[in-house]
Amino acid sequence: MFGFLKRKTREVKAPADGEVVALESVNDEVFSQKLAGDGVAIVPVSNIFTAPIDGVVSKIFSTNHAYSIKSTKDLEVMVHIGLDTVELKGKGFKRIANEGDEVKAGDGIIRADLSYIQEHAKDIITPIIISDESDVRSIEKKLNIVKIGDVIMEVS
């Protein structure tokens, strides 16, 4: 009856299989101090990284180590595969989607060679950040073992 009083809740889904952990546990000050935004991190066990929300691929870094998806509901989510992975200069990453592509949660964006990244980067842990928090009042985080598509955050 009073649906207009209800806050809109948007689900952010796991972009990879793995274990979701608190962002504060990430061994990188930019992420652990939430300087890039709030969210969670995932310790991935799958080589495919997917769209965490429905929307448009708004950015894929030239090194393919990070990407952002912007929804039509004013939510932008960045997935940053590993720590200090920009220094790999794209090695170990293969682009599946391109900037401007419309995607659904679960659509593949980047294929990563986890073994290579674990051997050559600081860490494989993958922060998932709400990069535009202007319309965010709260983030309910679900720390758990997940598969691609499982809900990891509810943003309202």
For 67-112, how does the pLDDT look when each residue is reduced to its tens digit (9 = 90+)?
Answer: 999 998 789 999 999 999 999 999 999 999 999 999 999 999 999 9
Q: Show Cβ contacts of residue 144 under 8 Å, excluding neighbours closer than 6 positions.
A: 19, 20, 150, 152
Sign for the pseudo-dihedral over CA of 96, 131, 86, 26: negative
pLDDT range class, residue 7, cuts 50, 70, 90: low
User: How far, in Å, CA of 63 to CA of 110, rounded?
Assistant: 11
Give the residue numbers annotated as catalytic, written as ranges: 80
Q: Show Cβ contacts of residue 62 under 8 Å, excluding neighbours closer than 6 positions.
A: 90
**Model's pTM, two decimal places?**
0.94
Torsion-angle region of residue 5: left (phi > 0), alpha (psi -120 to 50) or beta?
alpha
Q: Candidates 2.70.70.10, 3.40.50.300, 3.30.360.10, 2.40.50.140; correct CATH number of 15-155?
A: 2.70.70.10
For 141-151, how does the pLDDT look when each residue is reduced to its tens digit (9 = 90+)?
Answer: 999 999 999 99
For residue 62, pLDDT over 80 is answered with yes
User: How far, in Å, CA of 23 to CA of 25, rounded?
Assistant: 5
pLDDT range class, residue 3, cuts 50, 70, 90: very low
How do the domains of the chain map onto residue ranges? 15-155
